[in-house]
Amino acid sequence: MKKIIANTEIEVNEEGYLTDFNQWNKAIGESLAQEHGIDMTDRHWEVIDYIHDKYQNEEPLSIRGIKKSGVLDIKEFYSLFPGGPLKKATLIAGIPKPKSCI
């Protein structure tokens, strides 16, 4: 389905995740974050960059993997992306919802 975000028409699935990562840019990520009540900071973008690296290397994402990454601890992850940090972070990052998310 089509959605207009950051003055750009993007394709999303029924849960709001981009269906084509090539449509993602920082302005779209910022707008998606705002839709979920998140004000992006440099720390948020560091996490998004980490998620992009994992995605581009085709490495699966999980809460456990984030915990072991050394990038941030779980408590900080939950405070940056409250109410389902992996779901929200991947949605903002423009990648598919991880299989580990229900």
**The one catalytic residue among 6, 30, 101, 102:** 101
pLDDT, position 59: 85
In tens, the pLDDT along 1-26 reads 999 998 999 999 999 999 999 999 99
Q: 101 an active-site residue?
A: yes
> In angstroms, rounded to a whole number, what is the distance separating the alpha carbons of residues 13 and 71?
29
- pLDDT > 90? residue 93: yes
Residue 12's nearest CA partner among 100, 98, 102, 91 is 91
In tens, the pLDDT along 43-89 reads 999 999 999 999 999 888 888 888 888 888 899 999 999 989 999 99
pLDDT, position 99: 72
Q: Structure tokens of 15?
A: 């849960």
- pLDDT > 80? residue 100: no
